[in-house]
Structure 1
Amino acid sequence: MSDPISALLLGIIEGLTEFLPVSSTGHLLIAQHWLGARSDFFNIVIQAGAILATLLVFRQRIWQLTTGLGNREHRDYSAKLFVAFAVTALVGLPVRMAGWELPETVTPVAWALIIGGIWMLVAEYFAEKRGDNAHVTWTVAIAVGLAQVVAGVFPGTSRSATTIFLAMLLGLSRRSAAAEFAFLVGIPTMFAASAYAFLELWMDQGLGGEAWGDVAIAFIAAMVTGFIVVKWLLGYIKRHRFTGFALYRIALGAGLLLLMPSGF
């Protein structure tokens, strides 16, 4: 398979899986095993493309919040977004600098997929018993910030799954409200993480030898696919549960452990 085509496929996979609660890390790990491993810079760039897609989807909501700070409700919501991001930064940066992260190999990712799938089923079950609540509390904001750190330390858990379902378990039971808060917090978080990883890479290795055409193809593919997926997901969860995603995670994790017991 030619490099541009494999870059296109990897960009599409990143866009498909970054925001669905199924773990983009796990899917890219499998895909790059068959399509060829890519540089850290390539992986950073395609993630940035997916983040840009979220920014485009929520552009009206972001504009509403930034220009409506005179409104108490908007000011309160924006403050909670800031606190969630600040918690992630204050806890996550020392964790990142200390190198506390499981390796991105099959076995830990597979177990994270399985455990995460079970977690999703349990969290949604108890969230539905709490009624329909769309109010973000300070507890939810702080917990979402911590959940993003957990997702960064344990590849395969999925940032969206960890944050959305912890928010639901702590009382933000309306799926669309939990997803919106998790995605909005994820925008500055993922941009900051990508920028930090880019600086690390640039200082350690430089950026020579990159196939810039492949990088551009993958970036655009991730952005376009991510935009479509986020728009679809926000509509889907208004009418459906997350059960299908949870079962898919469990099946994929079990399949990885059975078919690739030695990992890669």
Structure 2
Amino acid sequence: MTYLNDILLGVIEGITEFLPISSTGHLLLAQHWLGARSDTYNIVIQAGAILAVTLIYWQRITGLLLNWRRPENRDYLIKLGLAFGITAVLGLLAKKLGFELPTTIQPVAWALVLGGIWMIAAEYFAARKPDCTTITLRVAIAVGIAQVVAGVFPGLSRSGTTIFVAMLLGTSNRAAATEFAFLVGIPTMYAASAYEVAKQLQAGAASEDWTALGVAFIASTITAFVSVKWLLTYIRTHDFRIFAYYRIAFGGLLLVLAGAGLIAA
């Protein structure tokens, strides 16, 4: 394991965490050739991507919090809190019940393909709705549930699932749906990362190579910052179908490689 490998893994995580293409599938394939990493490692580099999105939305976050007395800000914060609360409760329940699917190649590859097909269908139906930037209670509840579903089914993509649920249920404006999905994802992923890191440290993760982790964390943060900035610009004039086509192609490639025995299924 070299630091170059850590940089590559950080870059892959940073690019794929918030683009709707599933970081799980890409990290699975990358770690097949670059060497498997611990759960702590994967969680910490994910935190780098979360930090990047926090920095991008910092003005929006502070504006909401400092001006919470404004009715529109208070309403938005309530809906963010509702979505996060639903995710936290259902996520903990899923953990307690041990409801977690395997992160092996074939189920993740199928999730990539089927998720891509669903994204194309969702774009079709969302495009026929009038443009709307409003976040309704129904959207907030659905986004909270969607985060749990994406967490349980590796390969679905948390960002893709939440964005398209919001678009289909009323927030047809891509920028508004993406912003809400990302803002809900910030506390959700911080909380999940903190929970998992604490659990791993209790299990004896102190033997981690923290220098390697730091290198990957920095690479993930920088790359995520650039990729999310690009995405927010891209969706002003484009839809998400290019990501759907990519998911189908990438998932199909994984299935072919697994079927040929070139990677572990």
TM-score normalised by length of structure 2: 0.97
Q: Which residue of 1 aligns with 2:178?
A: 179
Cα distance in 1 for partners of 2:91, 2:11 equals 28
SS at match of 1:129: coil
Identity of aligned residues (%): 59
Cα distance in 1 for partners of 2:8, 2:253 equals 22
Q: Which residue of 1 aligns with 2:122?
A: 123
- The 5 A counterparts of 1:151-190 are 151-190=150-189
1:112-157 alpha-carbon deviations (Å, 9 max, x no partner) = 0011101111111111101211000000000000000000100000
Q: Which residue of 1 aligns with 2:210?
A: 212
Cα distance in 2 for partners of 1:61, 1:79 equals 15
Q: Which residue of 2 aligns with 1:260?
A: 258
Cα distance in 1 for partners of 2:156, 2:109 equals 9
The CA deviation at 1:238 is: 0.6
Cα distance in 1 for partners of 2:168, 2:196 equals 31
Cα distance in 2 for partners of 1:103, 1:28 equals 14
Q: Which residue of 2 aligns with 1:13?
A: 12
SS at match of 1:157: coil
The CA deviation at 1:199 is: 1.6
The CA deviation at 1:208 is: 2.7
State whether structure 2 residue 79 is matched by structure 1 residue 43: no
Cα distance in 2 for partners of 1:216, 1:33 equals 21
Cα distance in 2 for partners of 1:199, 1:109 equals 26
SS at match of 1:33: helix
Q: Which residue of 2 aligns with 1:239?
A: 237
SS at match of 2:205: coil
RMSD: 0.9
SS at match of 2:131: coil
Cα distance in 2 for partners of 1:105, 1:45 equals 20
The CA deviation at 1:98 is: 1.8
Cα distance in 1 for partners of 2:232, 2:240 equals 12
Q: Which amino acid aligns with 2:238?
A: H
The CA deviation at 1:109 is: 0.1
Q: Which residue of 2 aligns with 1:109?
A: 108
Cα distance in 2 for partners of 1:259, 1:37 equals 18
1:136-192 alpha-carbon deviations (Å, 9 max, x no partner) = 000000000000000010000000000000110101100000000000000000001
The CA deviation at 1:70 is: 1.2
Q: Which runs of 4+ in 1 moved over 6 A?
A: none
The CA deviation at 1:3 is: 1.5
- The 5 A counterparts of 1:71-110 are 71-110=70-109
SS at match of 2:243: helix
Cα distance in 2 for partners of 1:224, 1:72 equals 35
Q: Which amino acid aligns with 1:108?
A: P
1:221-261 alpha-carbon deviations (Å, 9 max, x no partner) = 00010111111101100100111100000111111111212
Cα distance in 1 for partners of 2:83, 2:207 equals 37
TM-score normalised by length of structure 1: 0.97
Cα distance in 1 for partners of 2:193, 2:84 equals 14
Q: Which amino acid aligns with 1:190?
A: M
Cα distance in 2 for partners of 1:173, 1:158 equals 19
